[in-house]
Amino acid sequence: MIEFWSAAAVMSLFAVVFLLLPLRRGSHAIAHSRADYDISVYKDQLLELGRDLESGLLTTEESEAARVEIERRMLKSSESNTKMNRQKNSSNWALITVVTLAVPVLSVLFYLEIGTPGARDLPFSERQTAKSAASHTAKGDDVTVDQMIVTLAERLEKEPGNAQNWLLFARTLTSLNRTDEADAAFTQAMHLTDDAPDVAIHYGEMLVNSNAQIVPPKAVTLFKQIITKDPANVRARYYIGLAKSQAGNRTQALQDWVDILTLSSVDAPWVPGVRRQIRAVAEQMKINPKDLTPSQAAQDLASTLLGDRAGAAVEDPKSSAAVPQDERQEFIGKMVARLANRLKENPDDLEGWVRLQRAYQVLGEQDKANNAAAQIERLNSAR
């Protein structure tokens, strides 16, 4: 028993040392690593802004506004990192003390509770027999992906009208490259959801991915159906443009992608990729991206969407809950300002003026609301 407790003491010591080293070094490394990563991302965004300005995808005013916002976030990230390091320095020593005392004490208590201090040692041959038996028992608990497929299939036999299960079944089959079976499952999910856009987009992407990224006619049909029900679906619009580009109609492809930028917020995650695609195709066609303009249909749709978002943001703060509290008012103000700017370009948009008046009223800017009301009266009298 003396040998056992001596070995246990040595192992506890090693365990304590192993836990203390990261506490002394790791927290600072993690904090700096996170801050360095954030700063690196923001620097890349600044470089991307410069390229967009040179290629004409952004105006000087848009580029300057985006640059100021990125620099503000860089400063905020740096300040947050400094504050976090101060807090961790003050708490580390207390945590080290707790760990140093807790690990040996809890180890002994845990062993006394579940261990068998008086048990005799097993000969090597008996240990191997016990190990082999445990191994065979554990193998029966493994759950494979194939078994999950079988489980889903059995569930669908019991609930054939469950659209969500059909969609899950289809996406699982897709991940295994069982495209023929996935196609049949997607078809069933589409039938049960009346060709819902959120189902159709997964179906279309499966068809593209299984066709070496070439958009097949069946996928094009699906994406067009999505646009009919959800005109602002940028994923469907992107693939429609990609199909046109692959068919040699690069001019219309560029138009579709420029329209996507009009329908998207500046910080949308897909915007940089779409811009790069536009630049690449424009260079191939020897076209200056500055000459590319959104279609009137896209501008009208963007005005409608922006009005809806601005109205929702000012009337229901939960709709902008993803924006930090101290930035929410600025966020709403920018949305309303963008709507006002669009109406300067398209002053005959009656619905846009109605939304702008409502937004100004909620914000308490009565003079601007009255001006919007005058525009509404002008357009109504002209009808």
pLDDT in tens, the chain (383 residues): 556 556 666 666 666 566 556 655 544 444 455 666 676 776 777 777 677 777 666 667 666 777 777 777 777 766 665 655 555 555 555 665 665 666 566 665 665 555 555 555 545 444 444 454 444 444 444 456 677 788 888 888 898 899 988 998 898 888 888 899 999 999 999 999 999 999 999 999 999 999 999 999 999 999 999 999 888 899 999 999 999 999 999 999 999 999 998 888 777 788 889 999 999 999 999 988 888 888 888 877 776 665 555 455 444 444 444 444 444 455 556 667 777 887 888 888 887 788 788 777 766 688 888 898 898 888 888 87
pLDDT of residue 205: 94
pLDDT of residue 301: 75
Could you tell me if 203 and 222 are in contact, meaning their C-beta atoms sit under 8 angstroms apart?
yes
Q: What is the four-CA torsion angle of 324, 325, 327, 331, rounded to 10 degrees?
A: 90
Chain centroid offset of residue 91 CA: 33
Domain boundary among 242, 262, 292: 292
Domain boundary among 292, 323, 347: 292
Q: Do 325 and 211 have their domain in common?
A: no
Q: Do 153 and 261 have their domain in common?
A: yes
Which range marks the domain in which residue 41 is found?
A: 2-114
Domain boundary among 75, 96, 114: 114
Q: Let me know if residue 140 belongs to a domain.
A: no
Q: Do 165 and 275 have their domain in common?
A: yes
Which residue is listed with tokens 């902008």? 320
Closest CA to 358 of 345, 348, 347, 372: 372
Q: Provide the number of structural domains found in the chain.
A: 3
Q: Do 154 and 267 have their domain in common?
A: yes
| Angle between helices 2-55 and 271-284 in degrees, nearest 10 | 50
Q: Let me know if residue 133 belongs to a domain.
A: no
Q: Do 18 and 91 have their domain in common?
A: yes
Query: What global pTM score does this model have?
Result: 0.50
CB neighbours of residue 276 within 10 Å: 15
Q: Let me know if residue 182 belongs to a domain.
A: yes
Q: Let me know if residue 126 belongs to a domain.
A: no
| DSSP result, 91-146 | HHHHHHHHHHHHHHHHHHHHHHHH--TTPPPPPHHHHHHHHHHHHHHHHTT---HH
Residue 247: enclosing H or E segment and its boundaries?
none
